[in-house]
Amino acid sequence: MLTTVKKDAILFTNGDNDTYYAWDLQHRKGFRKDVTVINLNLLNLPKFIKLLRNKVPFGPKMTDEYIDNSLGSNIEALAERRWEEKRRVSISGPTDDSPDLTWDVPATNSYQTGDGNSKEYYIRVQELMILDIISANNWKRPIYFAITCSDQNLLGLRNLQDTDKNFLTMEGYAFRLMSEPTPWTATDLLAQNLIYKFKYRNLNDPGCRLGKWTMKLISNCRMGFLQLAHNYLNEAEQTDDNNLSGVELSLSERTERFNELPLRVKGLTTLDLMKDRIPQSIVPINIERITEYINQLRLQLKP
């Protein structure tokens, strides 16, 4: 994740197992200390929010008094986070001439009211803080969400049904926030990161023992490879490109010449690299539909 993001990035992470590895690399190894890693669970806590004020921009109302009185667990704080089931939110674009970033932010909590036929909707403190940081940042620093973040944590910014309503693009093991509607993946950048930039140390070493949570995190790495292969298939079908020249080359040769390969061969090579760098003998695929999807991709990539 740290290798994915641009200089001085703000990176939202999901839980303990993606956050603390990143903090360890930063503070003990000195790697990518320019990146501010923000754990979304901790972002619900007033004490953590106060610590962050020296690291990321917040709006002017984010005083000690506001944090203590309006972001706690009392009734008044809950009222501060009352929301509609979906609320239209607008944030200024990066320049005076840019359109506003406007999208629907869904509520993340709801409570039955009255006779149980109606509900009141709320967002968590973390959503309120993400919105405040995005607005106060004013596009000065790149903002990312780790791929380990759930859809609920993405505030409706990632829309897989309509790219005209999608504002997050996958660049590697993080989604970058864009000021205008964007494709779901930055294909060329994702390929460069997955194939040439990221390291997959020990993942093909049968003598390397991986713990339960490490295995779970590493399984996310396949997501990037599968998305990339899917992109090449879509592009090949849209352009009616059935060229398979180069498919007979060895994997190392195809990797070296990757940028020159036809689209379908790029897709097949991406799947081969995933198999080579994250072998199932070390990191098994325990979800049958993912195995079926990989097999289906291979068949479709060979016209």
Is 224 a domain residue? yes
So what's the pLDDT on residue 224?
92
Cβ-contact 226, 294 below 8 angstroms: yes
| 164 and 242 both lie in a single domain | no
pLDDT one-digit tens code per residue, 249-269 = 999 999 999 999 999 999 999
Is 273 a domain residue? yes
So what's the pLDDT on residue 111?
84
Domain boundary among 177, 211, 233: 177
| 269 and 232 both lie in a single domain | yes
| 104 and 246 both lie in a single domain | no
Nearest 5°: CA angle at 289, between 211 and 154?
70
So what's the pLDDT on residue 275?
95
Domain assignment of residue 47, given as a range: 10-177
| 162 and 294 both lie in a single domain | no
Domain count, the chain: 2
| 39 and 162 both lie in a single domain | yes
| 146 and 106 both lie in a single domain | yes
Is 183 a domain residue? no
So what's the pLDDT on residue 215?
82
With a cut of 70, list the residues of the chain below it in pLDDT.
Answer: 115-116
Is 157 a domain residue? yes
Is 189 a domain residue? no
| 15 and 132 both lie in a single domain | yes
So what's the pLDDT on residue 194?
96
Is 153 a domain residue? yes
So what's the pLDDT on residue 50?
95
| 228 and 170 both lie in a single domain | no
So what's the pLDDT on residue 206?
83
**pTM passes above 0.85:** yes
Instruction: Tell me which residue of 114, 182, 174, 170 sits closest to 146, measured CA to CA.
Output: 174
Instruction: Tell me which residue of 15, 13, 81, 72 sits closest to 47, measured CA to CA.
Output: 72
